[in-house]
């Protein structure tokens, strides 16, 4: 990674953009499908064991101090913070007298937890709870679960046992077949703070269904993916009684009129 950053320093922006376009011509987002089912038939899916294997290997290195940071199964030599996300977490803890209980839906094996644990470990009480697919939950419990990090297969069990007040949805909503139905269910639990991060948007008036093809340097996989209409997305939260505190650019950046964004919402029950 140091070598990559060194080379990037000497590449003119026009060459960097050109190279990026070459990569995304083969990988990235392809198609504009009429249904999720159609896109699913043409892709390998999220339950590909290759994804779990790569993420597990990388995060074990982070947990054991052999690496600093993991994202999407890729190891980095420094933590790439989402500072607004961290600010949202700390805001939630201040509202709750320094305590923080998080429901991290689709949180993999703990990517966001490990990204921010240097700061979160200073809180008097921390409970980070991940909802994931059964095979992720199994590996999470076997290799990563401890007194602060927990794994669940369903929302109701997690809510009943942990009573989380913060909802984190980072890089996951676009991977759900019926994202607004999921949000309807999650928001019914009246979280004080909802943090959205690493989610793709455009301003075309509709939610585009596409296929995301992952470069083999990360892992070989392809899966259905939404690119959300931003105004429709924000209107949904407003309708549910959540106020937008902040909007921010996610670390994924922008490409081909796709903007990766994040949002921090506060619930109407917060005084």
The continuous run of DSSP H or E covering 183 comes out as helix 179-187
- 128-156: pLDDT as tens digits: 999 999 999 999 999 999 999 999 999 99
Supply 133's token pair: 């697919």
8 A C-beta contact, residue 172 and residue 212: no
pLDDT band for position 3 (50/70/90)?
low
Q: How far apart are CA 63 and CA 140, in angstroms?
A: 12
- 106-132: pLDDT as tens digits: 999 999 999 999 999 999 999 999 999
Enter the DSSP assignment of 173.
G
pLDDT of 215: 75
- 204-231: pLDDT as tens digits: 999 999 998 877 766 677 889 999 999 9
- Mean pLDDT (whole number) for 43-66: 86
pLDDT of 5: 53
pLDDT band for position 6 (50/70/90)?
low
pTM of the model: 0.88
Which domains does the chain show, CATH number per domain? 29-267 (3.40.50.150)
Q: Of 42, 103, 107, which is closest to residue 72 (Cα–Cα)?
A: 107
pLDDT band for position 257 (50/70/90)?
confident
Does position 1 have pLDDT exceeding 60, yes or no?
no
For the ranges 6-15, 45-54, 60-69, 182-191, the lowest mean pLDDT is seen at: 6-15
Q: How far apart are CA 130 and CA 167, in angstroms?
A: 10
């Amino acid at each position: 990674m140091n070598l990559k950053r060194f080379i990037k320093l000497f590449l003119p922006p026009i060459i960097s953009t050109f190279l990026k376009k070459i990569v995304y011509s083969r990988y990235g987002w392809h198609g504009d499908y009429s249904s999720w089912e159609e896109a699913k038939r043409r892709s390998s899916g999220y339950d590909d064991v290759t994804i779990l294997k790569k993420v597990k290997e990388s995060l074990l290195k982070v947990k054991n101090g052999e690496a600093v940071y993991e994202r999407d199964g890729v190891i980095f030599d420094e933590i790439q913070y989402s500072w607004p996300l961290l600010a949202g977490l700390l805001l939630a803890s201040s509202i709750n007298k320094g305590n923080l209980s998080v429901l991290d839906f689709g949180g993999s094996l703990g990517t966001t937890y490990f990204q921010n644990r240097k700061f979160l470990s200073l809180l008097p009480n921390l409970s980070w709870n991940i909802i994931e697919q059964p095979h992720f939950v199994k590996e999470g419990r076997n290799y990563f679960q401890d007194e602060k990090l927990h794994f669940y297969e369903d929302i109701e069990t997690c809510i009943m046992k942990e009573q989380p007040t913060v909802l984190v949805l980072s890089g996951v909503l676009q991977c759900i077949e019926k994202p607004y139905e999921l949000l309807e269910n999650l928001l019914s639990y009246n979280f004080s703070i909802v943090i959205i991060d690493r989610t793709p948007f455009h301003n075309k008036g509709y939610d585009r269904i596409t296929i995301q093809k992952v470069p083999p340097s990360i892992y070989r996989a392809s899966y259905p993916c939404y690119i959300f209409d931003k105004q429709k997305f924000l209107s949904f939260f407003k309708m549910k009684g959540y106020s937008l505190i902040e909007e921010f650019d996610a670390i994924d950046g922008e490409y081909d009129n796709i903007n990766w964004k994040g949002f921090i919402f506060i619930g109407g029950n917060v005084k």
